[in-house]
Amino acid sequence: MTTSSLSQALQSLHRRLRKVLGPQAAAHDSVIDECAHLCQLYHLSADNLYEKWDLYAVNNGLEDAGLTPDRLSDFRSFVQAEHAKNKASTPSAAPAPAPAMASATPARSLGASAPVASGPYKAVGAGDRTMHNTESLSQLMTQMTQTQLTSSTATPMSGPHSSPLRPPASQSNDPPGHAFIHRTNKGHVELSFNSHLPSSRTAGGFNAVDAMDVDSTPSRKLGKSTPDVVALIDNQDVKPFNYMYDKVNDLGLALDDYLDVFESRFHSALPDVDIFTNPSYASQAPIFAIGRLVAEEIEGQPSNKLAPNNLLLECARKYNGVRVKLLLSNSIDFHSLFPGQVVVVEGINPEGKCLFVDRIHHLPLPDPPTSSASDLLTSARASHSMVVATGPFTLTDTLNFEPLAELVTQIQTHKPELALLIGPFIDDRHPLIRAGDVDQFPDDMFRTQIIQRLVPILTHTQVVLIPSPNDLHHPWCMFPQPPFQSTTAPLPAGIVLLPNPVQFSWHEWVIAVTSTDVIKDMLRCEWSTHAVAPASMSGSDRTLVGARHLLEQRSLYPLDPAPDGAPHVDLARAAQLELQAAPDLLIVPSQLRHAVKPVPLSDAGGVGPDDPVTLMVNPGLAARGRFGGTVAWVSAHGFPPGTLEAVVKEAEKLEVGSEEREQAEAVYHAAHRRIRVDVVRL
C-alpha cells in the first residue's frame, strides 16, 4: 500500500471518528488524533471504538456527555484494560520464535525466512521470499507495540473512574482463584432499593416488621416453597425444535404477521388515524405509515446502528414491502430509536423518494397485571424471598466454580424461598474451555459442578435454572431456547427447568426473565433524536430507556438485526419473545453496571404510590474475570395494613358478579412499594 493510500485510509478513519463520536469529540483535534491512535494500536474500527466509549459512558454516568480532552486519559485506560481482559480470555497459540531484532534492519526483520507461527505470517523455505500484505504488517506492528506496553511497568492512572491496570490472568503470577479467595469486599451491599423495608438477609429478617409500613398481623410469615410456587404464563412452554430448517418465505410471513399485530395495536392506540399509507407514494398531504426501522447500507457495508443519514422505514407486504428513507424534522420530540423498532411515522413524501417526518408515534406501554383484592387478602399476606444470580459462575482462571460455591453458602445461611439461576453455566467463552484445558465433557461438568452443588439447598429453597445461548452443554444456541433437557438422569426434586426467555408467576408476582444482554445490545445500536431525554424518560438514564423499549415493543428481544456477538434470533418463533403483560419484575442481566430501577407505565411517567410501575433488575454477573461479581436478593412484602380491606369494602357496594365490581376489586401489585432489592457482592 502506498503512502498516499495510507494517508487516505487515515483521513477516512478521522472522518468516521468525527461522525460516530459526535460534535463534542469532533471539536477537539487532539481527541480525534488519540482515538485514531487507539484504533490503530488495538486493531479497532471507528464503530468498535465508539461501542467501547458507549459502554464506558453508560457505566460511569456520562450518557449525556461527549468524549472531551479531560475524559480522554480515563477512556484510554479503559480501552487498555478491555484489551488486556479480552487477550486473557483468548487461548494463546504456541509462541513463535523471536525475530532477531538486534542487528537486522526493519526490512530484513520482516522478511526473515525463519519459521513463523501459524496465522497471517506463512513459513517459507530458505530459498523463498516472505510476502506480507498490509493486514499482516499492521498486525505485526500492533503485536510489537503491545509487547512493549506489556513489558513496561503499569502505573496507576489518575481520574475519578480510573484504576491501576492489572495484568491478564494468563500473565499473573498468582495461583488460580487467588484474587477471589483474598477479596476484601465479600458480602458488601452495592445497591439497596427500598432499604426501609425489611430484608431477608438481615438479622431477624422478615420478623423485624413491626415498625415498618407493612402488614404485621400474626398471620404474616415467611412463605414456604411449594411445587406450584412457580407457574408458567400462557405461550411460554418452548418445546425442543429443529432450527436451520425454516424457509425464507416462512420467515417473511412471520415478520409480516408480526407487523400486522402491531398495526392492530396502533389502530387501537391512535383512533383518529383511519388508514395507514404506503410511504413510497408521493403525497403533498401528511400521511401515516407503519413499519419497522432499519439501517441503510453505508458505502456498501451493512449496518445495524441507526444514524440520521441511514434511517429507513420497512413496511409489510401489504404495502409492497417497501423501504423508504426517513428525514426527521429538527423540531421533532425526543425519541430513542433502534433497528427493528415498530413505529408509526407522520409526514409528507413530496417526490416519492424520501419521507419528511414531523412526528413519530409509539405504542403506549402495556397495562400491568392486577389481582383481585379479595384473593390477595389470603394469599398476599406472607413475605417471600428470592435470590437472582446470572452466570458465568466460575472465574476465568479456574473451572472450580468458586462464586457458585459462595452463593450456595449464602443460600444455606439466609434460606430464600426461590433461587433463580440464569446461565451461562458452562460458558463456551471461558478461556480454559476454548483452549480445551478440561477433563470433563460439558454435560458431566454441568451435572457435577452445578447440579450436585445445588443439592444441599433443595430442602428449603426451590431452584429455577434458565439457559443461555452461551451454554456449551445445551443443544439449542438459538434464541428463544427450550429448557435444559435432563436426558442422562432425572434431576433432583426441587429443581425447575424453564426456557429462555420466560415469563412466570411467583405467588401474585409476574416475572419476566431473559439471559440475553438485550439492554447492552440495544444501547450499542440505538440513536437518539436529542442529546438529552425529557423528564418523562428519566433524564439521561439510558438503561431505563432500554427497559421502556422492551415494554413498548412487547418483546424481550425486539432488536433486529442483532449486533455482532449477540445470539441469533429465530424469527419463526418470535411470538415466544412476546411480553404477555407488563411484568412486576423485569430481570434483564447485563454486563453493564448492576441496577434496580422503577419503570413508570403511565403516560405521565410517575412512580407514585398508586402509579403502575415495572421494576427492572439487573443483578450483575456472578463472576467478572478473576473476581467475584454480584447477585440480587429480592424481599417481597404484603400490602400495608388495611389497604386490601378498604378496596374490598368499596367493591361490596356493587352488584355481585358484575363487571364493575370486578374492576373495583382489581389492584396493582405495586412492586416499587412492596419489594426490596439488595445487590450484594459475592
Q: Is 439 left (phi over 0), alpha (psi -120 to 50) or beta?
A: alpha
Asked if residues 177 and 398 have their Cβ atoms less than 8 Å apart, the reply is: yes
Q: Domain boundary residue among 84, 116, 148?
A: 84
Chain segment 484-501, per-residue pLDDT in tens = 987 667 888 899 999 999
pLDDT of 166 reads: 38
Residue 43 pLDDT greater than 80, yes or no: yes
Would you state the cell numbers that stand for residue 183, as one nine-digit string?
477479596
Angle between helix 69-88 and helix 29-41 axes, rounded to 10 deg: 10
Q: Which of the two residues, 365 and 109, has the higher pLDDT score? A: 365
Cα separation values, 626 from 82, 190, 436, 681, Å: 14, 19, 19, 14
Q: Domain boundary residue among 30, 58, 84?
A: 84
> Would you call the peptide bond into 561 cis, given omega within 30 degrees of 0 as the criterion?
yes
Asked if residues 525 and 305 have their Cβ atoms less than 8 Å apart, the reply is: yes
69 and 205 in one domain?
A: no
Chain segment 434-444, per-residue pLDDT in tens = 998 899 999 99
With bands split at pLDDT 50, 70 and 90, how would you rate the model's confidence at 249?
Answer: confident
Instruction: Report the amino acid identity of residue 131.
Output: M
Q: Which of the two residues, 377 and 411, has the higher pLDDT score? A: 411
Q: Is 216 left (phi over 0), alpha (psi -120 to 50) or beta?
A: alpha
Mean pLDDT taken over the chain: 79
pLDDT of 405 reads: 95
Asked if residues 465 and 496 have their Cβ atoms less than 8 Å apart, the reply is: yes
Chain segment 65-113, per-residue pLDDT in tens = 678 888 888 888 888 888 877 766 555 444 444 443 333 333 333 333 3
pLDDT of 97 reads: 44
With bands split at pLDDT 50, 70 and 90, how would you rate the model's confidence at 255?
Answer: confident
Residue 634 lies in a domain: yes
- How many independent structural domains does the chain possess? 2
Residue 358 lies in a domain: no
Q: Which of the two residues, 56 and 363, has the higher pLDDT score? A: 363
Residue 442 lies in a domain: yes
Q: How many residues does the chain have?
A: 682
Asked if residues 511 and 587 have their Cβ atoms less than 8 Å apart, the reply is: yes
CATH code, 504: 3.60.21.60
Chain segment 551-582, per-residue pLDDT in tens = 999 999 999 888 888 888 887 777 888 998 89
pLDDT of 168 reads: 42
70 and 195 in one domain?
A: no
Residue 658 lies in a domain: yes
Residue 101 lies in a domain: no
Residue 541 lies in a domain: no
The pLDDT > 70 percentage for the chain reads: 76
Asked if residues 386 and 417 have their Cβ atoms less than 8 Å apart, the reply is: yes
**Read out DSSP for 425-470?**
SSBTT-HHHHTT--SS-HHHHIIIIIIHHHGGGTTT-EEEEE--TT
Residue 222 lies in a domain: no
Residue 66 lies in a domain: yes
204 and 74 in one domain?
A: no
As a three-state string, the secondary structure of 390-413 is ECCCCCCCCCCCHHHHHHHHHHHH
Residue 471 pLDDT greater than 50, yes or no: yes
pLDDT of 217 reads: 31
Name the burial class of residue 245, with classes exposed (0-12), middle (13-18) and buried (19+) by CB atoms within 10 angstroms of its CB: exposed
Would you state the cell numbers that stand for residue 418, as one nine-digit string?
426461590
Residue 445 pLDDT greater than 90, yes or no: yes
Beta bridge partners of 189: 680
With bands split at pLDDT 50, 70 and 90, how would you rate the model's confidence at 48?
Answer: confident
Q: What is the mean pLDDT of residues 652-666?
A: 84
CA 272 to chain centre: 36
Closest Cα partner for 110 from 78, 91, 134?
134
CA distance 358 to 258: 25
Out of 48-62, 248-262, 503-517, least confident range: 48-62
Q: Domain boundary residue among 53, 84, 115?
A: 84
Helix (H) or strand (E) holding 673: helix 671-674
646 and 523 in one domain?
A: yes
Chain segment 374-410, per-residue pLDDT in tens = 888 876 667 899 999 999 999 999 999 999 999 999 9
The pLDDT > 90 percentage for the chain reads: 36
Chain segment 188-215, per-residue pLDDT in tens = 999 999 999 999 887 545 543 333 333 3
DSSP state of 212: S
Residue with cell 506489556: 150
pLDDT of 386 reads: 96
With bands split at pLDDT 50, 70 and 90, how would you rate the model's confidence at 355?
Answer: very high
Closest Cα partner for 600 from 397, 428, 377, 366?
366
With bands split at pLDDT 50, 70 and 90, how would you rate the model's confidence at 128?
Answer: very low
CA distance 93 to 121: 13
pLDDT of 550 reads: 95
196 and 56 in one domain?
A: no
Domain that holds residue 71: 7-84
With bands split at pLDDT 50, 70 and 90, how would you rate the model's confidence at 130?
Answer: very low
Asked if residues 434 and 90 have their Cβ atoms less than 8 Å apart, the reply is: yes
pLDDT of 5 reads: 62
- The overall longest dimension of the chain from CA atoms, in Å, is 101
With bands split at pLDDT 50, 70 and 90, how would you rate the model's confidence at 643?
Answer: confident
CA distance 602 to 275: 26
Residue 169 pLDDT greater than 80, yes or no: no
pLDDT of 605 reads: 62
Residue 462 pLDDT greater than 90, yes or no: yes
CA distance 632 to 621: 10
653 and 522 in one domain?
A: yes
Which three-class secondary structure state does DSSP give residue 257? helix
pLDDT of 118 reads: 34
The whole-model pTM stands at: 0.76
Q: Which of the two residues, 556 and 218, has the higher pLDDT score? A: 556
Chain segment 6-42, per-residue pLDDT in tens = 677 888 888 888 888 877 888 888 888 889 989 888 8
Which pairs count as long-range contacts for 150-158, CB under 8 Å and 24+ apart, including other chains? 157/73, 157/74, 157/77, 158/73
